Amino acid sequence: MRKKRYDSGWDAVENSAVEAANMKARIDLVIALHEAVDSWKLTQAEAAKRLGITQPRINDLIRGRIDKFSLDALVNLAAQAGLTVRVEIVGPAA
């Protein structure tokens, strides 16, 4: 039996490299947003207002429910939070 190695856990659980890349980007954004919101020391209602979303939506974000957010929505929230989002493109390994 051969062991298969993965670059991340997402590579192991997602059906394709495309889905894994999307999930990796989304989780990175959720973590950055969670840290930003946490640093504001606001109630969820106040943080939601600051981001222009509802309190239940901020609750989803804080609880890490990444399946409820598209990559596009998370990029928009990051900008609203004052974060700068950069995309790094890396070529395939030789």
Nearest to 29 by CA among 37, 41, 18: 37
- Summarize pLDDT for 58-92 with one digit per residue, the tens: 999 999 999 999 999 999 999 999 999 999 888 88
In a domain, 55, yes or no: yes
| DSSP secondary structure letter of residue 64 | T
Rounded to an integer, the average pLDDT of 2-13 is 53
Number of domains the chain is built from: 1
Instruction: Return the pLDDT at 31.
Output: 97
In a domain, 56, yes or no: yes
Confidence of residue 7 (pLDDT cuts 50, 70, 90): low
Tell me which residue range forms the domain holding 33. Answer: 9-80
In a domain, 24, yes or no: yes
Q: Domain of 42: which CATH number? A: 1.10.260.40
Nearest to 68 by CA among 30, 12, 21: 30
Instruction: Return the pLDDT at 15.
Output: 61
